[in-house]
Each structure stands twice: as C-alpha cells, then as structure tokens.
Structure 1
C-alpha cells in the first residue's frame, strides 16, 4: 500500500510541476514557441490532477480499461490511462465529484487549443490564451481544494501548489486591469444599447453584437456566420456535426429579416448575429410548408409570405 501512495504523490507532483513551470512564460509574454509549450504543459498538468482526484477513489479507475488494471503496470507507468472524457465521466458518476459545467467547458477549450498547436500552425491571441488559462486555473484550484488534502502530500507538492496560487493572482490582476481599461468603452456600448455576448475565444463578456463583431478583451473577430458557429460550439457546448449526426436540433436558423443563417435560438428568444434583431419565441413561427421561421403576426395561416405568394402563383398558373 505504501508503494501505491508514493506513486499517488508522484502523479500529483508532476501535474503541479507542469502547471507551475508553464505559467511564467504566459505571464511574461514570451514568444510563440514558449507559449505553445506552456499551453501543452498546462493541459497535461490539468489532466494529471483530475486523474489524481479520481485515483483517490481507486487506483484502477485511471486505467482506460478497468478490466485490464494491473498494479505492476501502475507502478511502471506502462499502461493506457483514462482519456479526458473517461476521467470526467468516472469523476462524476463513480467518485461523485462535482465538476461545474464551466470548468469542463474551459478545459475542453484549452484541449482544443492544445490540439491545434500540436497539429497545425500556431496562431492564438495572447489575451485569449491568458483568459482561458486563468479560467481553467481557477477551477483546477477549486477542485484541488475541494477534493484533495494538500498537507498529506509531499513538501515539494505543497510548495508547487503555493507557487501556483501566487501566480494565479497575477492572472486575476491581468483580467481585472484589462476590464478596468474597457470600462469606458463598455459604458458607451451600454448607452447605445449594443448587446454584449460571451466571446468564444476568451470567454469574457466583451463581444459586442455590432458591425465590427470584435471582442474588446482579446480582439477576436470573424464573420457573423463563423461567430455564431463558434458561440454555439464553445459557449453552449453544442457540436453541430454530432447533433445533426444523432438527429438532434442545432440551434441556428435562417433569420426572417436578413435571411442569413445566423439566428441563434435560445431558451426564450431568437437573436440574429447579422442584423442584430431579437424576438421572443412567441413572435416567430415555423412555416408549415418550408419550415423557415417567419413573423407570426404577419399572417395567420401558418405559412410564410414567400410560400403564400408561391402557392398563389401556382394556383393562378394552374400547376
């Protein structure tokens, strides 16, 4: 049993070490090379810490295939460890660990950044990286606090944990300072009644739905079509391909005003990312003929104006 406990400490210490050493290059605005490896290491460290929490329930749970769990392979490290999604599932459903939805969302976004850095050209917005790391960091710190007893771990682990806490405060300072600088611009947008949404790149509530479609915090900018797609995937956590493949509903439709495929369907409203119009759910209705949304107040026959005109033309022509 003592040997297993030592391995337990090693995994936790390695996770903390990955994160601690990766934070300084991000805080110090190092070059792209250093930033790339920082993100890779922070994600790796986060996964190790999640597995450490899972391992406190039972060591076999960190094997991808529990049926092949072997104490000798655990000691040597020569085994296929649980994937991120498997780890999350077991933490929540076996170990009964509560993981906030935002925590999973931010960690998955960091994983996506890591994947792009590993397989494609590295092109990321510095402020967006800092913001994403800051949010992941805050949740990792909370998960450690709520599920692990730091004092039971090695002195080195305790030192690394303390160092991470100290550096995390600098991320908070960065976020607070940036938001303070944006206060005037945000106030102007508020007076102009410009709607703000969460940015799908940095997750700050600083992306105005106006002609520019540019996040004030990180500078993220794209077309309305791409922004709504990114918003649905990264903020709402809905993958269009998976939803459509499984026969589900993808919450983006054609706008009845500008006809762009940028109308976000939310719980109680429709919001167009192109023309910025917004409606309550009871103000729009699906046409019984073409299934496109239209203003229900315009007609009362369950049919949009285009379909009405089309059917009138067919009737007149005798088709």
Structure 2
C-alpha cells in the first residue's frame, strides 16, 4: 500500500492505515510561565544622579547650542536648573534624616519615603532646613537667587515667561556657581565611592563650562567698563541681572541697566522699590515694623517717590549714598522732617532753612 501523506483527505474512513497523531498536551494553566527578560533596562536614577543629569542638560543648553543661547535653550535652562537645585538640596537633606524631606516631618513614615508616595517640602524650605537643622553655612544671597529662580520656573511652567536673556544667563551662572560649590563641599563627602567618582567626573566638565559662561558675562561687563565709569556715581547693582550696571541718571528712558537692557520707562518708583527690596533686602513694612525709616521716600529735588536713602553706588560703595531713581540726584546732607512725618530734606549743616517739609510747614502756618 502506498504510504499516506500528511496532506491526505481529512475525511478518510476509520480504519485507514494512516496513524493519527496523539493530540498535543495542553499545558497546565496553573503553571506560571517563565518571565522573559526585558529588552530595555528599568529607568533608575538615584537622587544625586538625577540632579546631576539635570545639570548636564543645563550646561548643554547654555554652551552647546546656538550662540548666544536661543529662547528655547534659556527656557530649559530655567526649568532644569530649578529642578537640579531642588533635587540636590533634598538629596543632602535626606542624609540628615529622611523625614526632613516631608512637608511635615512629624507625618513621615519610611514606607511612604521608599515608595516616593508623599508630599515633599519646597526648595526654599529644604534650603532653610539645611541651614537650621543640618547646620550648613549657606549664604542668604544664594537663598534669594534660588527663590527668584523658582519664581521664574513657576511662571514659565504655568503662565509663560517674558524675561531678558542676558539676565537669565547672569542669574543662571550665579546659581550654577552655588550648586558646584554645594556639591563639592556638602554632597560628595558623604557619597558611596562609585557615585562620588561619577559626580567628580561630571564636576570637572561643569567647572570648565561654567568658567566659559562667567567669561562671557565678564567680557560683556568689560565692554561696558568705560561707559559705566562715566556714570559710576549714579550706577547701582541691577535687581534683575545683579550686575553693577543699572544707571539712574534721570534720563528720558528712566532707570536703565546697560548689561541686561532692563528699562523702567516712566516708572522710576517701581525701579526704586525693586532695587530696595531685591538688592538691599528692604521694604516699607519691615522697616516700619522694626522702628526704622522707610527705604524709599519722596525726593526733595523732584518730588517723585523714588529716593532710595540707603542706595549703594559704584562710586560710593561700600557706603550708602542716597540716590533718586527718578531725577538722578545724589544727596549728602539729608535730614528727617522735624515734624516726624517721614519726609527727608536736603539741608546742609549750618543752613538756616526751617527743617520742615512743605506739607508740615503749611500745616503749622495754618494753625496760626
């Protein structure tokens, strides 16, 4: 008989010489299948490596893209620099105790911390806890810059941001300088050897790139040196870019920063208030609460509410030089109104002028 093939008619009658193969064994569904190895590795970053990765991105956007950096580069500079700052500060804070990362340390528990299922404290809170609890000698100026960076990040993330490119570069350089010092002094010494080696390797690259950014800032200031020298008596530190380039000379444009081109057109009062608060750390409420004089008063020369009594000019530093941000007047012999109203008068010692402001003088005359 001819051997039957596997392609024989399936309707062949029973009793055919073809042997019917036994049915395949059905695997037991209760038996757990072996897990295939993933073709892609898990995403894993330690807090420190995560923060360092953000810094790599920051320096890439500032130094490896367009020259000067594009608006997109500066956007990611702000976003990733703020993220790096937050992550690295908290990485150091967790070394003191994991509970310090929680908004409320009293509600902390280790399981939530390991899962990352909790609400953490803010960046400035982390900074303050590092100072007050961990005892790190961090500077108040750095805290202020970090706070401003967080404000820029929040505005950019939620509302959009329009800000001067030169100011962003200058501020970024200062925060980067803080972070590089922070990592070197306060973070690396407590790391495991392998991670410490990796961080040090990145740090060598960061220092070189930061030096390049700072060089650009210094070069720009050097280009302005001769121009700024002519107006040193009315030049103060800019509250936006923190360079000694804000000129309040009473010009038609208003107070203007020659470095970052920030201008307060027809609004010298705002420029004076911003300078007093951001640069000097002074505001009316705190000054009055502490029993002191307000930092910004009416100018006896032009009457504008733009005279910063404790301004520090490039020519007069480190001492205070009263400067009007509206008319550019510099004063040497200011005294307070005798009636105690808070106004100031430009009366030299030995002058026979009545030590009363016009309003108080009129009020006194009206009583007679």
TM-score (normalised: structure 1) = 0.84
Which position in structure 1 is the counterpart of 2:53? Answer: 17
Distance 1:153 1:94, change over 3 A: farther
1:301 deviation in Å? 6.0
Residues 299 and 305 of structure 1 are in contact (CA less than 8 Å); yes or no, is this contact kept in structure 2? no
How has the CA–CA distance of structure 1 residues 165 and 233 changed in structure 2, closer, same or farther, with 3 Å as cutoff? same
- 1:175 counterpart = 2:228: no
Pick closer, same or farther for the CA change 1:244–1:121 going to 2, 3 Å.
Answer: farther
- Which residue is equivalent to 1:115? 154
Larger radius of gyration between Structure 1 and Structure 2: 2
What is the distance in 2 between the residues matched to 1:256 and 1:33? 46
Residues 163/288 of structure 1: CA separation in 2 closer, same or farther (3 Å cut): same
Does residue 303 (structure 1) correspond to residue 356 (structure 2)? The answer is yes
CA distance in 2: counterparts of 1:159 and 1:289, whole angstroms: 62
1:252 aligns with 2:296: yes
Q: Provide Cα deviations, 1:248-305, integer angstroms capped at 9, x if missing partner.
A: 764111112211111113285432111222334x631134164422235566765324
In 2, Cα distance between the equivalents of 1:100 and 1:228?
Answer: 24
Three-state SS of the structure 1 residue aligned to 2:328 is coil
Matched with 1:4 is none
Work out which of the residue numbers 256, 263, 266 in structure 2 matches 1:214: 256
> Conserved in 1, the CA contact under 8 Å of 2:124 and 2:146?
no
Secondary structure of 1:148's counterpart equals helix
Aligned mate of 1:283, from 334, 345, 358 = 334
CA distance in 2, matches of 1:253, 1:310: 20
Relative distance call for 1:300 and 1:215 in structure 2 (3 A) is closer
Q: Alpha-carbon deviations, 1:17-66, whole Å to 9, x = none?
A: 11221222233344323422220110110111111222222222122211
State the alpha-carbon separation in 2 of the partners of residues 111 and 131 from structure 1: 15
Aligned length: 302
Partner of 1:58: 97
Aligned: 1:231 with 2:259 = no
C-alpha change, 1:286 and 1:55, in structure 2 (3 Å) is farther
1:244 Cα deviation after fit: 8.1
- Cα displacement (A) at 1:206: 1.2
More displaced, 247-256 or 37-46? Answer: 247-256
State the partner residue of 2:16: none
Q: CA–CA distance in 1 between the matches of 2:346 and 2:282? A: 27
Higher relative contact order (CA 8 A, sep 6+): 1
After superposition, residues 69-80 of structure 1 pair within 5 angstroms as 69-80=108-119
Shift of residue 128 of structure 1? 0.7
- Unpaired runs of 5+ residues, structure 1, are 1-8
Which of 239, 242, 258 is equivalent to 1:203?
242
More helix per residue:
1
1:206 aligns to what SS in structure 2? strand
Q: 1:244, 1:226 → 2: CA distance?
A: 18
CA contact (8 A) 1:109 1:234 kept: no
CA RMSD of aligned residues (A): 2.7
**Conserved 8 A contact 2:331-2:346:** no
Contact 2:239–2:278 at 8 Å: present in 1 too?
yes
**2:168 aligned with 1:132, yes or no?**
no
Match of 2:137 among 78, 98, 102: 98
1:253 partner SS = strand
1:292 aligns with 2:292: no
Quick one: distance in 2 between partners of 1:162 and 1:196? 36
Provide structure 2 residue ranges, at least 5 long, that are not aligned to the other structure.
Answer: 1-44, 311-318
Other structure's SS at 1:207 match: strand
**TM-score when scaled to structure 2?**
0.74
Asked if structure 1 preserves the Cα contact closer than 8 Å seen for 2:61 and 2:76, the reply is no
SS of structure 2 residue aligned to 1:262? strand
Are the counterparts in 2 of residues 271 and 278 from structure 1 also a CA contact under 8 Å? yes
1:279 alignment partner, SS class: coil
Contact 1:106 1:136 in 2 (8 A): yes
State the Cα distance separating 1:245 from its structure 2 match: 10
